[in-house]
Amino acid sequence: MDDVPPINAAVIVLAAGESSRMGRPKALLDWRGKPLIEHVLATARQGGCAGSLVVLGRDAEAIMAGADLGDATVLVNPDPARGQISSIRLGMENLDFSTDCCLVWPVDCPLVRPGDVRALIDAYARWRGALMRIFMPVYQGRRGHPMLVDIGFRQPFMELPPDATARKVLDDNPTQVKEVPTDNPGVLVDMDTPEEYRAALAAL
């Protein structure tokens, strides 16, 4: 079998939302004794992401003061009200030139495992030669997070209209989306409310 060259993967952690329904910054929620954003960054590293970028919004100062972001590149979205796609674009624009692919990871998705990250990167390594450009974890037929994107496929995200979401890129390019099965239902979990936060903690 031909040797597969190593993949230089980065993670873009999206933490610019207002967390209005949660009532406090999601990035600073306690998760196993640490701020949630530290947990997400650690999981990404354990799964094989060499680089990390964090996109913050109005709570940027509080998050930077309350969490150890390590060597992550911190970006501040000046107008997060434009929607999540504005944070995705900001992250993609600032990826290192040597990056092969990036994982787009909302900070409120805490139950993703290092193995899920590794499976996405491995699938990318196997399938990028077949023109697969977006890789999605799938549990029992449902797509979850994080989404892995080939660095050469950034432009469709950059060209989205202001009111669109990343889902439009998936819908417009179905033949270039590869689903990666997982046995972890946690890829489907996000947390918008205190009740959902408590449920996610219970799922540990």
Instruction: Give pLDDT tens digits for 15-25.
Output: 999 888 999 99
Compute the average pLDDT of residues 161-169.
Answer: 89
Check pLDDT > 70 for residue 2. no
Beta strands in the chain (DSSP E): 9-15, 30-31, 34-35, 49-56, 73-76, 101-106, 134-139, 142-143, 147-150, 177-181
Within a 10 A sphere around the Cβ of 124, how many other Cβ atoms? 23
Check pLDDT > 90 for residue 150. yes
Within a 10 A sphere around the Cβ of 130, how many other Cβ atoms? 8
pLDDT of residue 1: 38
| 80 Ramachandran zone, left/alpha/beta (phi>0; psi -120 to 50) | alpha
pLDDT of residue 204: 81
Check pLDDT > 80 for residue 97. yes
pLDDT of residue 105: 98
pLDDT of residue 4: 60
Instruction: For strands 142-143 and 134-139, give the pairing.
Output: antiparallel
Within a 10 A sphere around the Cβ of 197, how many other Cβ atoms? 21
- Distance (Å, whole) CA 47 – CA 59: 27
Mean pLDDT of the chain: 95
**142, β-bridge pairs:** 139
pLDDT in tens, 37-87: 999 999 999 999 999 999 999 999 999 999 999 999 999 999 988 889 999
| 22 Ramachandran zone, left/alpha/beta (phi>0; psi -120 to 50) | alpha
Check pLDDT > 50 for residue 120. yes
Check pLDDT > 80 for residue 109. yes
Confidence bin at 3 (pLDDT 50/70/90)? low
Compute the average pLDDT of residues 119-148.
Answer: 96
pLDDT of residue 161: 86
Gyration radius (Cα) of the chain, Å: 16
Instruction: Compute the C-alpha angle 110/95/42, nearest 5°.
Output: 30
Within a 10 A sphere around the Cβ of 79, how many other Cβ atoms? 10
Compute the average pLDDT of residues 121-138.
Answer: 95
Domains and CATH numbers, the chain: 9-203 (3.90.550.10)
